[in-house]
Amino acid sequence: MEQDKDAVLERIRAFFASIGLPCEPATLEEPTFLPGIRVECGGLLFDAERLAFPGDLLHEAGHLAVVPAEERRTLSGNIDRGGAEEMAAIAWSWAALVHLRLAPEVVFHPDGYRGEAAAIIENFSAGRFVGVPWLQWRGMSLEPEQAARQGEEPFPAMRRWLCD
């Protein structure tokens, strides 16, 4: 799996373009919640010079993806609203990294997730998927039992990437 920062960034940007999630380069001189990333009106701006971890874009995109489009367009700044939405954003970003064939550490790096990145990787690798009930509730993915009943692929397969 390719881990070159520029290549990973381009792969992520191409994925966002394919699902209709705005992600544009920008010069971000002011401090941001995550280095080199700002959420602006439901899209992502990134400063490649300040971007510490390209995988952080996937997690921030997860926050945007799990809310309906009308609400998404109003989101700017620090959009971590905690609780179930945080868990859904984690699950969404796991599904995205699997889809993109990226190493889990691209998103769940040691400098993030309040020191719990390794535990998240361990849980998801073992099939213990927090946040998937929210994705299922939003019609974005299915837990294994529901997927089996409907004859569809379970999480980390996604029915759709945006809650629209």
Task: Check: CB of residue 72 under 8 Å from CB of residue 64.
Answer: yes
- Report pTM: 0.93
Task: Check: CB of residue 40 under 8 Å from CB of residue 62.
Answer: no
Q: Confirm whether 17 is domain-assigned.
A: yes
Per-residue confidence (pLDDT) for residue 112, from 0 to 100: 84
The residue count for the chain: 164
Per-residue confidence (pLDDT) for residue 114, from 0 to 100: 80
Q: Confirm whether 119 is domain-assigned.
A: yes
Q: Confirm whether 10 is domain-assigned.
A: yes
Query: Quick one: tokens of 87?
Result: 């868990």
Domain of residue 34: give its range. 5-150
Tally of domains within the chain: 1
Q: Confirm whether 158 is domain-assigned.
A: no
Q: Confirm whether 155 is domain-assigned.
A: no
Per-residue confidence (pLDDT) for residue 82, from 0 to 100: 67
Q: Confirm whether 128 is domain-assigned.
A: yes
Q: Confirm whether 164 is domain-assigned.
A: no
Q: How far apart are CA 141 and CA 91, in angstroms?
A: 10
Per-residue confidence (pLDDT) for residue 77, from 0 to 100: 85
Q: Confirm whether 65 is domain-assigned.
A: yes
Task: Check: CB of residue 98 under 8 Å from CB of residue 55.
Answer: no
Per-residue confidence (pLDDT) for residue 34, from 0 to 100: 86
Give the chain's residues under pLDDT 70: 1-3, 81-82
